[in-house]
Amino acid sequence: MARVVVDPVTRIEGHLRIELIVDEKTGKVTDAVSSGTMWRGIELILKGRDPRDAWAFAQRICGVCTSIHALASVRAVEDALEIKIPKNANYIRNIMYGALQVHDHVVHFYHLHALDWVSPVEALKADPVQTAVLQNQLLEKYGAIADLMPDPIGRRAYPKKFPKATPGYYRAFQEKIKKIVESGQLGIFAAHWWDHPDYKLLPPEVHLMAVAHYLNMLDVQRELFIPQVVFGGKNPHPHYIVGGMSCSISMDDMNAPVNAERLAVVEDAIYTQAEAVNLFYLVDLLAIGHIYVQKGQVYGGGLAKRRVIGYGEFPDEPYSGIRNGEYHKQVLYHSNGVVEDFVEGVERAKYYTLVGKDFADPEVIQEFVAHSWYSYPDENKGLHPWNGITQPKYTGPKEGTKTHWKYLDEKGKYSWIKSPRWKGKPCEVGPLARYIVTYTAVKQGHIKPSWMDEMIVKQVDTVSEVLGLPPHVWLTTTVGRTAARGLEAQVGVAANLYFLKKLYDNIKAGDTSVANMERWEPSTWPKEAKGVGLTEAPRGALGHWVIIRDGKIENYQCVVPTTWNGGARDPMGGQGAFEECMKDTPLQVVNKPLEVLRGIHSFDPCLACSTH
């Protein structure tokens, strides 16, 4: 048995260490350790502050999934203070959220994940002419996926950004890569395991195409976030307010934050999102994923096979609260629920719904710290976030010294990430989890599907057809996790078009309100209030729990997607999704665990989020 350490894990947000216990002969990973190696204590910093300021602090939990913690935070405070935001604010927040989904997923796929699948070294061997031919073929073969996206606005005359299927385009990128390689200054491509056998799975032309799009999308990604810049003033970290949004709408005042020109900027950006997703992302994803699946890479599902959880998103209209169940009556994305044993087929999977009251129930969602560097009065028990405690207690490694580790101690405490559990059980979160929950909910008939749910089911069925495999086989793999994310980006674009249309219609109907200021002044608040803010962050289900007393934050706890996925084991022995995924991934070269890295990357880990 070998113990392989990868630290730092790169192409992620923040500081993650993994340790693998591998059977050298078979390449089987028998056990795995995921450790978050940073902690800032933002929950402690939030205590005693004005709840209206909380969004800004919480937002700084992460600049990659920027805005999502702000959204969770304003929702939590609004839930506590029983504030219902205006319609426009709801539409605008949804568009900002959708923009995040699209951007984060695109950047993850190209800039954080692609180099696990494709290699610039292989791209050098490609023929640019053939690559151009291939690009056209792939657009023909997979391009129909674009038709799954409804466009209620329908104003784009023709795509402005589409893959350039010309030899010159590919030659330019190939030459750039060549010069970088020749100069010996490899920059971001330096020192990687380019000789790993998996880089031989794809033909060189696919490598060149994907690497070219890696660079091309580096330039395009900025435009995907333009809606946040218009409505929130900047990106990363746009501005929100409790009660709605600050970007007042007026068609009478030339200095108004939102007017027809600003809306046009947003509309154009959403169409750019559509093109980036439909013409680049999904086509590249299907091309690469298809080959990997055909070559037998159907591992890495791990925990997704057994249990996934989601909270639900895209409230169609404003709601009066989350705890009272109104939020879940409005969501279009019915990922709120838990699904067990999806791997046995969608008919045999077990589905449990999750609605407002479940998030206030002290037994449903809890966090454990038995194996994390925190202390609880009783570490065998979990705590509901309203009663949550964040008390650091660093203990050090199993081998090595306090400040110089060799191996971590998986029997003791070994991570700055806590362990969230649903009824004491670990769950995977993320686009894959949301897809499994939504798909199961629709197929088993638990919900009345919204247009969005229907779109998701259609996407899954379409891809199943392309791959020639049923959903429970291909979804519960590393490829499936990556594919679900791409499909979800398309849902994000569709949602943005849908909510922009609603925004137009509502303004047209004469409603320009963006903020409900009735409960702005602390004098209007109750002495004590508790709230939950839920959302579906790009990486999975996110909840903020707040207690407000005498106008100040008494307790603030965030239970974050990467906390679910990357967290430490629980006292009952349950392991999180990272560890389960690694155990479900065979290695070809023990000291170059590319497959595991790819599996970990398929979660899009965010460590700043996970520990906060």
Partner 1 sequence: METFWETFKRHGVNRRDFLRFATLMTGIMGLSPSMIPQVVKAMETKPRVPVLWIHGLECTCCSESFIRSATPLASDVLLSMISLEYDDTLSAAAGEDLEKHRKEIIKKYWGNYILAVEGNPPLGEDGMYCIVNGEPFLKHLKESAEGAKAVIAWGSCASWGCVQAAKPNPTTAVSIDKVIKDKPIIKVPGCPPIAEVMTGVIMHLVLFDSIPPLDSQGRPKQFYGNRIHDTCYRRAFFNAGQFVERFDDEGAKKGWCLYKVGCRGPTTYNSCGNIRWYNGLSYPIQAGHGCIGCSEENFWDNGPFYQRLTTIPVPSVEANADKVGMAVAAAAAAGAVAHGVISKIRSKPNKGGE
Give me the residues that bind Mg ion (CB under 5 A), please: 558
Q: Are 29 and 600 in contact (CB under 8 A)?
A: no
Residue 289 interacting partner from ligand SF4, ligand NFV, partner 1, none (CB closer than 5 to 8 Å by kind): none
Which is closer to ligand NFV, CB of 42 or CB of 279? 42
Q: Which residue, chain included where needed, has tokens 């700055």?
A: 416
The secondary structure element, H or E, covering residue 1 is none
Which is closer to ligand NFV, CB of 311 or CB of 525? 311
Which is closer to ligand NFV, CB of 120 or CB of 538? 538
Q: Which residues bind ligand NFV (CB under 6 A)?
A: 13, 62, 64-65, 68-69, 537-539, 542, 560-562, 606, 608-610
Q: Are 407 and 3 in contact (CB under 8 A)?
A: yes
Minimum distance from residue 113 beta carbon to partner 1 (Å): 11
Q: Which residue, chain included where needed, has tokens 């699946």?
A: 293
Structure tokens at 538: 């790009």
Which is closer to Mg ion, CB of 146 or CB of 558? 558
Stretch in the footprint of partner 1 (CB under 8 A) among 147-155, 158-166, 185-193, 531-539: 185-193
- Identity of the amino acid at 398: K
Binding to partner 1 by residue 160, rule CB under 8 A?
no
Which is closer to ligand NFV, CB of 36 or CB of 86? 36
Q: Are 466 and 487 in contact (CB under 8 A)?
A: no
Q: DSSP strand E in 280-439: where?
A: 307-310, 313-315, 331-333, 337-340, 350-353, 365-368, 399-401, 404-407, 419-422
Which is closer to ligand NFV, CB of 463 or CB of 558? 558
> Across the strands, what pairs with 400?
405
- Helix ranges, 397-528 (H): 431-443, 451-467, 471-474, 478-508
Minimum distance from residue 62 beta carbon to ligand SF4 (Å): 8
d(CA 547, CA 385): 10
Three-class SS of residue 407?
A: strand
Structure tokens at 256: 């108004």
Binding to partner 1 by residue 172, rule CB under 8 A?
yes
| Interface with ligand SF4: number of residues (CB under 6 A) | 2
Which is closer to ligand NFV, CB of 60 or CB of 84? 60
**CA-wise closest residue to 279 among 107, 447, 490, 540:** 490
Cβ-based neighbour number of residue 151 at 10 Å: 16
Residue 390 sits at φ, ψ, to 5 deg, of: -120, 95
Four-point Cα dihedral 568, 192, 199, 110, nearest 10: 70
Minimum distance from residue 145 beta carbon to partner 1 (Å): 27
Which is closer to ligand NFV, CB of 108 or CB of 306? 108
- The radius of gyration of the chain from alpha carbons, rounded to an integer in Å, stands at 23
Binding to partner 1 by residue 221, rule CB under 8 A?
yes
Residue 253 interacting partner from partner 1, ligand SF4, Mg ion, none (CB closer than 5 to 8 Å by kind): partner 1
Which is closer to partner 1, CB of 173 or CB of 351? 173
Among 249, 437, 497, 548, binds partner 1 (CB under 8 A): 249
Q: Which residue, chain included where needed, has tokens 């048995």?
A: 1
Which is closer to Mg ion, CB of 386 or CB of 525? 386
Binding to partner 1 by residue 229, rule CB under 8 A?
yes
Minimum distance from residue 237 beta carbon to ligand SF4 (Å): 6
Minimum distance from residue 246 beta carbon to ligand SF4 (Å): 12
Which is closer to ligand SF4, CB of 103 or CB of 307? 103
Residues from 159 through 188 that contact ligand SF4 (CB under 6 A): none
Residues from 189 through 208 that contact partner 1 (CB under 8 A): 189-193
Q: Are 34 and 302 in contact (CB under 8 A)?
A: no
Binding to partner 1 by residue 232, rule CB under 8 A?
yes
Minimum distance from residue 153 beta carbon to partner 1 (Å): 21
Residues from 15 through 74 that contact partner 1 (CB under 8 A): 15, 17, 37-42, 44-45, 49-50, 52-53, 56-57, 60-64, 66
Distance from the first to the final alpha carbon of the chain: 34
d(CA 387, CA 380): 15
User: Read out DSSP for 40-89?
Assistant: --HHHHHTTS-TTTHHHHHHTT-SSSTTHHHHHHHHHHHHHHT----HHH
Binding mask 545-584 for ligand SF4 (x = CB under 6 A): ----------------------------------------
Which is closer to partner 1, CB of 146 or CB of 514? 514
Binding mask 86-125 for partner 1 (x = CB under 8 A): ---------------------x---xx--x----------
Residue 500 sits at φ, ψ, to 5 deg, of: -65, -40
d(CA 267, CA 146): 18
Minimum distance from residue 418 beta carbon to Mg ion (Å): 6
Residues from 44 through 73 that contact ligand SF4 (CB under 6 A): 60, 63
Burial class (CB in 10 A: 0-12, 13-18, 19+), 43: buried
Which is closer to Mg ion, CB of 283 or CB of 558? 558
Binding mask 387-406 for partner 1 (x = CB under 8 A): -----x-x-xx--x-xxxxx
Ramachandran assignment for 168, one of left (phi > 0), alpha (psi -120 to 50 degrees), beta (any other): alpha
Residue 20 interacting partner from ligand NFV, ligand SF4, partner 1, none (CB closer than 5 to 8 Å by kind): none
Quick one: angle between helices 204-224 and 260-275, nearest 10? Answer: 170
Binding to ligand SF4 by residue 27, rule CB under 6 A?
no
Which is closer to partner 1, CB of 111 or CB of 443? 111
Q: Are 353 and 364 in contact (CB under 8 A)?
A: no
Structure tokens at 497: 């078009």
Minimum distance from residue 563 beta carbon to Mg ion (Å): 6
Going by the DSSP 8-state scheme, the letter that residue 148 receives in this structure is G
Binding to ligand SF4 by residue 612, rule CB under 6 A?
no
Residue 181 interacting partner from ligand SF4, Mg ion, partner 1, none (CB closer than 5 to 8 Å by kind): none
Q: Are 349 and 440 in contact (CB under 8 A)?
A: yes
Minimum distance from residue 199 beta carbon to partner 1 (Å): 11
Positions touching ligand SF4 (CB under 6 A) are 60, 63
